[in-house]
């Protein structure tokens, strides 16, 4: 099986990466690497490189390493050694073949999930180091094609799904109309100035899962929230440029998002159930723009729903009967410590909650995040095979009776869906929004 897996891994040819490599010259590679190593990176890169004692204790943190037969090349430190370690050693004098390998490692073998930080005695942040490798690859124009396409969409439309302005507002109206069959007076307020809540979602919601917007509207209505969604660009809080290494574009996307909220003079931004979007708004994009903390308070859906459900702002008619298990997305667990609130919420909504182990901040990643799922079909087999350990965790939860997995993150949904299908786990996947919508007392 290992032999076969390795074969699949090595046979990946990505058009975007290859096209970028064809344009490279040794001088360009060297100058870009030097620029990033010496001017963009600083204390962390140099201190991490100097501090790592090659103890290998980070290895067990990584689902790639554990799933792929404990391949030493896939340990967090192993990935550093294969990429930025060599770049530093050779001062940027590396070949195009090396860049191909580095891009493969950074874009498809690390989810930037930062679990290894919790295993390294020194707290070395390999996710950050892989972000630097991605930055170099982006500046060299060596980015997986599907991911770059998404980044292009964000450059053109400020959303990741090539959705035109009218299509967005149309979708909101369409969902409002649908929801009115159920709740006759419901509104999806667009561009309402002075509302309390600015609700933002990721591009795939209007594109593929429009019912989530409908459900959110019903939840807001039931809670009596004063909310709005922007009618113009800035509505999509996602950010694939953050993952491709295009920091400049990331900054523009985040600025559009914050400005859309500021223009409507809202009190806070509530985000849908997406992990990476939260990371980009709360943790990464704001820093690039020079805000120490987001200029407008940002609240993840789990936090928001926790407040609604646990403080009785919406009432539960009948708890969800099927036993559920809870997947902790990296960006809201290690990124915001929402693991306890997620559990309280799950217990408030469901009869039976089965715990996967490890969980909370030590949970096993979905292997879709960090933009890996956005690298598209060429990487799908590798992505699923490099996370057999998650499949095992799901099987274990199933053996304990869990029938439904709640994953409050879109990337996790994508990744877990593929894992469930590939390994034949046969469990259902849901968002918290799905459950709340199902069990709540609906507004009249």
Q: How far is the CB of 155 from another protein (least distance, A)?
A: 25
Considering the rule CB under 8 A, would residue 60 count as an interface residue with another protein? Answer: yes
| By the rule CB under 8 A, 43 interacts with another protein | yes
Size of the site for another protein (CB under 8 A): 50
The reply to whether 297 sits near another protein by the rule CB under 8 A is no
Name the residue nearer to another protein (CB basis): 135 or 209. 135
For residue 50, state whether it binds another protein (rule: CB under 8 A): yes
* 27 Cβ contact list (under 8 Å, min separation 6): none
Each as own residue / partner, the long-range contacts of residues 177-180 (CB below 8 Å, 24 or more positions apart, any chain) are 178/211, 178/214, 179/214, 179/217, 179/218
Q: How far is the CB of 363 from another protein (least distance, A)?
A: 11
The C-alpha atoms of residue 337 and residue 340 are separated, in whole angstroms, by: 7
- Here's the x/- map for another protein, 199-218, by CB under 8 A: it reads as --------------------
Question: Rounded distance, CA 357 to CA 355, Å?
Answer: 6
Question: For the chain, what percentages of helix, strand and coil (3-state, to nearest 5) are there?
Answer: 55, 5, 35
SS3 271: strand
Q: Report CA 11 to chain centroid distance, whole Å.
A: 26
Restricted to residues 400-429, the positions that interact with another protein (CB under 8 A) are none
Instruction: Figure out which of the listed residues 8, 15, 123, 164 binds another protein, where binding follows CB under 8 A.
Output: 123
**Cα–Cα dist 193/138, whole Å:** 38
Whichever of 287 and 422 has its CB closer to another protein, that residue is 287
Query: What is the smallest separation between the CB atom of 6 and another protein, expressed in angstroms?
Result: 15
Binding mask 66-105 for another protein (x = CB under 8 A): ----x-xx-x-xx--x------------------------
* Sequential DSSP letters for 89-138: HTTT---HHHHHHHHHHHHHS-----GGGGTSTT---HHHHHHHHHHHHH
Residue 119 interacts with another protein (CB under 8 A)? yes
Q: Are the CB atoms for 113 and 365 separated by under 8 Å? A: yes
Cβ nearer to another protein, comparing 35 with 187:
35
Tell me the closest approach of the beta carbon of residue 34 to another protein, in angstroms. 13
Stretch that binds another protein, among 12-20, 36-44, 192-200, 349-357 (CB under 8 A): 36-44
Options 33-41, 91-99, 170-178, 343-351: segment touching another protein (CB under 8 A): 33-41
User: Near another protein by CB under 8 A, which window of 115-123, 149-157, 161-169, 175-183?
Assistant: 115-123
Check residue 355 and report its DSSP letter: P
> Which of 162, 137, 138, 146 is closest to 15 using CA atoms?
146
Q: Round to whole Å and give the CA distance between 282 and 280.
A: 6
- Check: CB of residue 229 under 8 Å from CB of residue 200: yes
One residue of 10, 11, 51, 95 binding another protein per CB under 8 A = 51
Binding mask 311-350 for another protein (x = CB under 8 A): ----------------------xxxxx-x-----------
**428 strand-pairing partners:** 404
Using CB under 8 A as the criterion, which residues of the chain lie in contact with another protein when the complex forms?
39-48, 50-57, 59-61, 65, 70, 72-73, 75, 77-78, 81, 117-119, 121-125, 283, 287, 292-293, 333-337, 339, 358, 361-362
């Amino acid at each position: 099986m290992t032999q076969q897996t390795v074969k699949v891994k090595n046979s990946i040819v990505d058009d975007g990466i290859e096209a970028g490599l064809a344009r490279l010259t040794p001088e360009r590679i060297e100058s870009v690497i030097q620029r990033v190593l010496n001017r963009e990176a600083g204390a962390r890169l140099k201190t991490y490189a100097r501090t790592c004692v090659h103890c290998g204790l980070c290895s067990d943190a990584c689902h790639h390493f554990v799933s792929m037969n404990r391949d030493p090349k896939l340990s967090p430190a192993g990935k550093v050694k294969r990429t930025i370690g060599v770049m530093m050693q050779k001062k940027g004098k590396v070949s195009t073949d090396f860049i191909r390998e580095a891009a493969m490692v950074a874009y498809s073998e690390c989810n930037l999930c930062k679990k290894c930080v919790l295993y390294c005695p020194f707290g070395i942040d390999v996710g950050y180091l892989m972000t630097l490798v991605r930055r170099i690859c982006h500046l060299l124009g060596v980015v997986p094609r599907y991911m770059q396409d998404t980044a292009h969409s964000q450059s053109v439309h400020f959303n990741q799904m090539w959705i035109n302005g009218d299509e967005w507002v149309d979708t909101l109206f369409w969902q409002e109309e649908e929801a009115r069959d159920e709740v006759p007076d419901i509104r999806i307020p667009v561009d309402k100035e002075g509302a309390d809540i600015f609700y933002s979602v990721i591009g795939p919601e209007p594109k593929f899962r429009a019912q989530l917007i409908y459900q959110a509207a019903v939840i807001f209505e039931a809670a009596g929230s004063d909310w709005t969604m922007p009618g113009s660009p800035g509505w999509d809080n996602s950010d694939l440029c953050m993952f491709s290494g295009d920091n400049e574009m990331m900054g523009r996307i985040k600025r559009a998002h914050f400005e859309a909220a500021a223009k409507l003079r809202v009190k806070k931004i509530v985000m849908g159930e997406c992990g990476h979007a939260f990371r980009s708004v709360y943790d990464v994009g704001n820093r690039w723009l020079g805000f120490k903390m987001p200029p407008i308070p940002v609240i993840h859906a789990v936090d928001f729903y926790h407040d609604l459900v646990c403080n009785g702002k919406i009432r539960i008619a009948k708890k969800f009967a099927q036993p559920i298990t809870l997947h902790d997305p990296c960006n809201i667990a290690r990124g915001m410590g929402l693991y306890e609130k997620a559990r309280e919420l799950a217990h408030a909504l469901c009869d039976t909650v089965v715990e996967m182990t490890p969980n909370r901040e030590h949970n096993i990643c979905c292997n879709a995040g960090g933009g890996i799922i956005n690298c598209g079909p060429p990487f799908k087999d590798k992505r699923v095979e490099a996370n057999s350990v998650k499949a095992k965790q799901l099987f274990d939860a199933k053996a304990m009776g869990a029938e439904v997995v709640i994953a409050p993150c879109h990337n996790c949904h994508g990744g877990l869906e593929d894992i469930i299908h590939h390994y034949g786990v046969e469990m259902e996947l849901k968002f918290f929004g799905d459950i709340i919508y199902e069990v709540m007392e609906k507004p009249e």
